[in-house]
Amino acid sequence: MPGKKTAQAVDIDFTLRKVFGKFSFRPLQREVITTALQGEDVFLQAATSFGKSLCFQLPAVVDYGITIVVSPLLALMNNQVAALRRANIEVATINSTTPASAKAEILADLQCGHPLTRLLYVTPEYCMLDSFRRILRIIHSQRELSRIAIDEAHCISEWGHDFRPSFQGLSYFKREFPDVPVICLTATATARVREDIIRTLGLDARKLKLFAMTTSRPNLHYEVRFKSDEEDHYDDFLKWLKAAHKRRASQPARASQLSQLNERTDAVSGIIYVLYRRDCEALASQLCHDGIGAKPYHAGLPNDKKDDHLAGWVSNKVGYDVIVATTAFGMGIDKENVRFVVHWQLPKSFEGFYQEAGRAGRDGRASVCIMYYGREDRDRAASMMARDAARQENNKKGAAGGAPQVARAKSLQALVQYCEDVTHCRHQLIAQYFGELGPPWPRCEWACDYDKNPKALAKAKEEGLASEEWCSTQRERGAYVADDYD
Ligand SMILES: Nc1ncnc2c1ncn2[C@@H]1O[C@H](COP(=O)(O)OP(=O)(O)OP(=O)(O)O)[C@@H](O)[C@H]1O
């Protein structure tokens, strides 16, 4: 077995400062990195914005050889590759947008016996290609295959959200290269999903080093706003946003602080998640009409528009303050100063909600996550799920079986319960969903609507939601025939 060359004693603190420009490790990053450097297989489950990427990037920089990073989304890959290039780290990506000449250059480097590339980002689909597997065997025979990192590992499991069938082919790595350590990273895995990932990848659960950290994001303020089909919540949101603008503008002392952060006093950066593409466009233009710089982002937009909207938003450009997006814009988006994330309708799963809300407050500062919840949306989501299940039943070939469908339904149900609950801290409800050890589960301090004012919350629910009786009559009339999600 070719094995791999071993790294000499390394000063990871020095690399953290010198290469990554960070002053200190966040809690537990050091332990995870040290364990990875010892050649162990690692499973890291930690909150959104914990800093999971550093846990494979830093070992990749200090260790010999190449780290292959399997990542499900182009935007996520490009985001990380750009950040690593800024730090002068030799990084490459091969995906559908890589020009043939660049690809040939990368592949030549990989096979040269002493490659410069430290990290190579690829899609799971690319890992299925015989041509790439042949190259991996060459790298391995040259003792240069250092580590495999599986980012957003929950995509492996059909019990999880964002399931990608091609992730299941990744069992190939352990089968073919049993001596090459694997590191899996995710923010959203229930115990069942975790077990599924470990089994599918062929990892030995007894030897695997598991780091399962809290889901808690104490700087996020979770809030549910109740609505019904009767009323458009646009006005409510606009009022809230304008009030936030006003607060900023009324604090001249903050102006210089904000400009140092490349932010403006007349804008607040945020994301609004919608379920349908048509809502993306319509809502963004309505906001623009009301003086808010907003841009749509969804899979149907041409690539140049998507790139422009993302780049403008990331650089806090005037007119690009709010992104109105479908879930095409989610996992891995890493912009520091996102001050709010709004869910315009009920998302499809609890995990999706947590991932998307997790785009807020990545600089550790207080940020708001608002969910607009209506029972009509709940019924539409349930009807959509039932229709999907029926479709899959009719088309069994290649479809996920009945049990994962049940898991999906449970996830939606848990999210509905989260929205309907007016008697518990929202941070606790999230920790509970992800199976964090408790009770007691970590509670927040004034960082959710329940903790701030439980009475007002209960009243808002009573006044804001359509009654169950009304909903059931509507259901009987077939009023909740839903459109397909985009
Ligand atoms: N030790 C550190 N000190 C300061 N900043 C850090 C440190 N580690 C990571 N970061 C920063 O934290 C941010 C979030 O990191 P990262 O994108 O790896 O999060 P993540 O855990 O993958 O989150 P998600 O699951 O939400 O994508 C990045 O901007 C990263 O540069």
30-68 tens-digit pLDDT: 999 999 999 999 999 999 999 999 999 999 999 989 999
Q: In this structure, which residue's CA is closest to atom 7 in ligand 1?
A: 51
Q: In this structure, which residue's CA is closest to atom 25 in ligand 1?
A: 48
Q: Indicate the pTM of the whole model.
A: 0.90
DSSP tally for the chain: helices H, then strands E: 20, 13
Question: What span, in angstroms and rounded, lies between the C-alpha atoms of 288 and 118?
Answer: 43
Domain boundary among 212, 238, 263: 212
Shared domain check, 417 and 297: yes
Question: What span, in angstroms and rounded, lies between the C-alpha atoms of 295 and 284?
Answer: 5
Asked if residue 482 belongs to a domain, the reply is: no
Shared domain check, 268 and 200: no
Shared domain check, 447 and 390: yes
Shared domain check, 195 and 299: no
Asked if residue 3 belongs to a domain, the reply is: no
What distance in angstroms lies between residue 27's CA and the mean position of ligand 1's atoms? 12
Q: Which CATH number belongs to the domain containing residue 195 in this structure?
A: 3.40.50.300
Asked if residue 91 belongs to a domain, the reply is: yes
Domain count for the chain: 2
pLDDT in 10s for each residue of the chain, 486 residues: 455 555 555 789 999 999 999 999 998 999 999 999 999 999 999 999 999 999 999 999 999 899 999 998 887 888 899 999 999 999 999 988 889 999 999 999 999 999 999 999 999 999 999 999 999 999 999 999 999 999 999 988 877 777 778 888 899 999 999 999 999 999 988 888 899 999 999 999 999 999 998 888 999 999 999 998 878 899 999 999 999 988 888 877 777 788 777 778 888 999 999 988 889 999 999 999 999 999 999 988 998 998 899 889 998 999 999 999 998 676 667 898 999 999 999 998 999 999 999 999 999 999 999 999 999 889 888 888 887 777 766 665 544 456 677 888 889 999 999 999 999 999 999 999 988 876 676 778 889 999 999 999 999 999 987 777 776 777 776 766 666 666
Nearest CA-CA partner of 180 in 221, 204, 147: 147
Asked if residue 486 belongs to a domain, the reply is: no
Q: Ligand 1 pocket test: which of 16, 44, 50 has the largest number of ligand atoms within 8 Å of its C-beta?
A: 50
Instruction: Using the atom order of ligand 1, give the atom closest to the CA of residue 334.
Output: 17
What distance in angstroms lies between residue 52's CA and the mean position of ligand 1's atoms? 6
Distances (CA, A) of 178 to 56, 146, 165, 198, 432: 18, 12, 22, 14, 35
What distance in angstroms lies between residue 363's CA and the mean position of ligand 1's atoms? 9
Shared domain check, 309 and 406: yes
What distance in angstroms lies between residue 336's CA and the mean position of ligand 1's atoms? 9
Q: In this structure, which residue's CA is closest to atom 16 in ligand 1?
A: 51
Instruction: Using the atom order of ligand 1, give the atom closest to the CA of residue 16.
Output: 1
Q: In this structure, which residue's CA is closest to atom 11 in ligand 1?
A: 51
Question: What span, in angstroms and rounded, lies between the C-alpha atoms of 19 and 118?
Answer: 13
Asked if residue 437 belongs to a domain, the reply is: yes
Mark 332-351 as b/e (b = at least 16 C-beta within 10 Å): bbebebbbbbbbbbbbbbbb
Instruction: Using the atom order of ligand 1, give the atom closest to the CA of residue 29.
Output: 1
What distance in angstroms lies between residue 53's CA and the mean position of ligand 1's atoms? 6
Q: In this structure, which residue's CA is closest to atom 4 in ligand 1?
A: 22
Shared domain check, 181 and 247: no
What distance in angstroms lies between residue 51's CA and the mean position of ligand 1's atoms? 3
Q: In this structure, which residue's CA is closest to atom 8 in ligand 1?
A: 51
Shared domain check, 208 and 329: no
Complex ipTM, two decimals?
0.99
Instruction: Using the atom order of ligand 1, give the atom closest to the CA of residue 76.
Output: 27
Shared domain check, 239 and 205: no
Domain boundary among 169, 193, 212: 212
What distance in angstroms lies between residue 313's CA and the mean position of ligand 1's atoms? 19
Nearest CA-CA partner of 87 in 52, 54, 49: 54
What distance in angstroms lies between residue 384's CA and the mean position of ligand 1's atoms? 35
Parallel/antiparallel/unpaired status of strands 66-70 and 145-150: parallel
Domain boundary among 154, 183, 212: 212
Cβ neighbours around 386 below 10 Å, total: 13
Task: Identify the residues whose C-beta falls under 6 Å from ligand 1.
Answer: 22, 25-26, 29, 46, 48-54, 187, 332, 334, 358, 362
Q: Ligand 1 pocket test: which of 16, 53, 183 has the largest number of ligand atoms within 8 Å of its C-beta?
A: 53
Asked if residue 261 belongs to a domain, the reply is: yes
Instruction: Using the atom order of ligand 1, give the atom closest to the CA of residue 355.
Output: 26
Shared domain check, 224 and 201: no
Q: Ligand 1 pocket test: which of 16, 45, 49, 356 has the largest number of ligand atoms within 8 Å of its C-beta?
A: 49
**Structural domain of 148:** 12-212
Calculate the dihedral angle through the C-alpha atoms of 151, 149, 30, 440, rounding to the nearest 10 degrees: 40
